[in-house]
Amino acid sequence: MPLKGTSETVGVFVFQPLKKARKLDLEKESLLFSIVRQLGVSIEKHFLTKRLIETQRLKDSEELHQTLLNSISHEMRTPLTAILGAASALENDELTGGSKHVKEIAINLQASGDRLNRVIENLLDMSRLNSGVLSLKLEWHDFNDLLSVVVKKLEKPLLNHKIKINFLDSVHLVRIDYRLMEHAVSNLILNATMYTPPGTEIKINQKRNDTHFIIEVEDSGPGIPLDSVTKIFDKFYRVPGSPTGGTGLGLSIVKSIIELHKGHISLQPVVPHGARFVIELPLEDQPLVPQEKIS
Ligand code: ADP
């Protein structure tokens, strides 16, 4: 007899009468059915309570984790701004008497500070995305502009790479949250600078098909190993043996941002080697009249 709860079957009840016992009379049979029914419901209740406690425990620890991450990231921002300010002052020859050594230290300080800043940005955006408090500020933007701004901001990390962008001939407007999209594209370009040998090329390609606006960030580095491909967009996942310094959050943030825009991101292998991240954003009708918000 199936042990049925209110919404699922939780087991099977086997009743085996003794060999010589007579068939159960109606009254006993109905009593047995009633016991089996109640048994099913109470086993299901027991399982549900256990599951509920476990879910609540996970939710509590996740929330605590998030709150801690959030407050630590906020607290780190202020001293970091001061450190970066001081580092930039050290690059001023009048202050340092033109010492080459000091300038070198200042450049290293700046680079490490910038890197820490990006980790903090990733942590903060992750916690905003997870908490669901983040609402998109969608406005029309020209993707050519966004790419120029991102590449300008990443001037230093891109110093050792050749960057090639195919700018679209005509202005094509896309409705995006500018800050978040900038963050997503920056994460992909930065990864390409960090995980490929110096001197190699990073290509950014824009194109359109009937339904989507497509942005590809492609490099000719080692690519993503086959057994990491399915996990690469997971939170905190890093390919084993990756250089230290990352958090494994970058790609999961990119994915969340693109999905918030109702888009899709995928990874394609590059022949003979390399990684190509492909962002697809659904096309919308272009605005007819130039709006104030277009930038
Ligand atoms: P992080 O860079 O902080 O480790 P990400 O989520 O951005 O986190 O990336 C996850 C992992 O994916 C990285 O640790 C790296 O091993 C791998 N990866 C990302 N981009 C590339 C790339 N362009 N080429 C090779 N490996 C990459």
pLDDT tens-digit series, residues 137-188:
999 999 999 999 999 999 989 999 999 999 888 888 899 999 999 999 999 9
- Atom 23 of ligand 1, residue of closest alpha carbon: 192
Tokens 């879910």 found at: 55
Instruction: Write down the pLDDT at residue 164.
Output: 97
Q: Residue 220: phi, psi to the nearest 5?
A: -120, 40
- Is the CB of residue 181 below 6 angstroms from any atom belonging to ligand 1? no
Q: Give the mean pLDDT of 97-106.
A: 86
Atom of ligand 1 nearest to the CA of 221: 24
Nearest-atom number in ligand 1 for the CA of 247 is 3
**Is 210 exposed, middle or buried, given 0-12, 13-18 or 19+ CB atoms closer than 10 A?**
exposed
CA of 264 to the centre of ligand 1 (A): 18
Count the neighbouring beta carbons within 10 Å of the beta carbon of residue 1: 15
Tell me the pLDDT band of 72, cut-offs 50, 70 and 90. Answer: confident
Closest-lying ligand 1 atom to the alpha carbon of residue 274: 24
pLDDT for the residue 127: 81
274 CB less than 6 Å from ligand 1?
no
Q: Per-residue pLDDT for 61 more than 90?
A: no
Q: How far apart are CA 87 and CA 196, in angstroms?
A: 28
> What's the mean pLDDT in 117-128?
86
**CA nearest to 174, candidates 280, 87, 255:** 280
Kindly indicate the confidence band of residue 239, based on its pLDDT and cuts at 50, 70 and 90: very high
Mean pLDDT of the chain: 90
DSSP label at 292?
T
pLDDT of 289 reads 57
Express each pLDDT in 9-38 by its tens digit.
Answer: 999 999 887 777 677 888 988 999 999 999
Taking CB atoms within 8 Å and a gap of at least 24, the contacts of 47-56 are 47/5, 47/10
User: Which residue's C-alpha comes closest to atom 7 of ligand 1?
Assistant: 250
Instruction: Measure 63 CA to ligand 1 centroid, in angstroms.
Output: 26
pLDDT above 80 (res 260): yes
CA of 198 to the centre of ligand 1 (A): 16
CB of 232 within 6 A of ligand 1: the answer is yes
Instruction: Give the range among 218-232, 258-272, 280-294 with minimum mean pLDDT.
Output: 280-294
Q: Is 134 helix (H, G, I), strand (E, B) or coil?
A: coil
State residue 290's pLDDT score. Answer: 55
Instruction: Indicate if ligand 1 lies below 6 Å from the C-beta of 265.
Output: no
pLDDT of 251 strictly over 70: yes
Average pLDDT over residues 234-248: 91
Q: How far is the CA of 251 from the centre of ligand 1 (A)?
A: 7
